[in-house]
Amino acid sequence: MSALVKAVVEMEDLKFTVARNLARCRRACGYTQLQVAEKLNYSDKAVSKWERGESLPDVAVLVELARLYGVSLDYLVREESPRKAAPVSAVRNRRRILVTVMSCLLVWVVAVAAYFLSLMFGAKGPVWLAYIWALPADGILCVVFASVWGNKYLRTAAVSFLLWMAALALYLSVPVAYNWSIFILGALLQALAVFWFLLRTPRSAPRS
């Protein structure tokens, strides 16, 4: 009987130890509970329960959390942890933002080069469209990076930007009658993107 009581007490201690370390790591990395939930495809209520010690995530989820926060699994489960979690995730996020910005700027470097080369070789037509088409090109990069690195909010925003910039580029590049209808198509695709965003709700964590 005493062994059973001891096991229960140890389990409760482990819950609160993990809860404290999870909350500390999340704050150190600058994430909200909702952002963590989206990255793990769980509900924010589940993340809240983990950080309050009401439930304990399984080992697979703990491994994902350790990877997300840039710490070891032992860091999350041991009772005495350093006051500050290693800011690996924060550094990684800054690096991702830098890579995204540099990639988008590279698109504009190519657009400027294409514009001046077109002028030098006497190209006919509105060569300024090189700048317009740089916008949907940036949108494609944003969609790719948001899909690999971001959450569903960033993906939805990136897809929306791509849709409307592509519609604008087509509208200006194809001066035909009723070319404004491309914006109707853009609105329909935008609605589909929003509905897809609403349908992708995070699953709830299993009860412990």
- The 10s digit of each residue's pLDDT in 29-69 is 888 888 888 888 888 899 998 888 888 888 888 888 888 88
CATH class of 2-77: mainly alpha
Distance between start and end Cα atoms, the chain = 22
Which residues lie closer than 8 Å to 88 by C-beta, 6 or more apart? 69, 70, 71
- The 10s digit of each residue's pLDDT in 2-24 is 554 455 446 677 788 888 888 88
- The 10s digit of each residue's pLDDT in 147-164 is 877 667 788 888 899 999
Amino acid at 52: R
> pTM for this one?
0.56
Burial 175-203 (b: 16+ CB within 10 A, else e): eeeeeeebbeebeebbeebeeebeeeebe
Q: Where are the domains of the chain?
A: 2-77, 89-199
Q: Give the span between the Cα atoms of 6 and 153, in whole angstroms.
A: 45
The pLDDT, as a whole number, for residue 39 is 86
* Residue 136 banded pLDDT, cuts 50, 70, 90: very high
Average pLDDT score over residue span 103-115: 93
The pLDDT, as a whole number, for residue 204 is 43
Angle separating helix axes 88-120 and 59-69, nearest 10 degrees? 60
The pLDDT, as a whole number, for residue 157 is 87
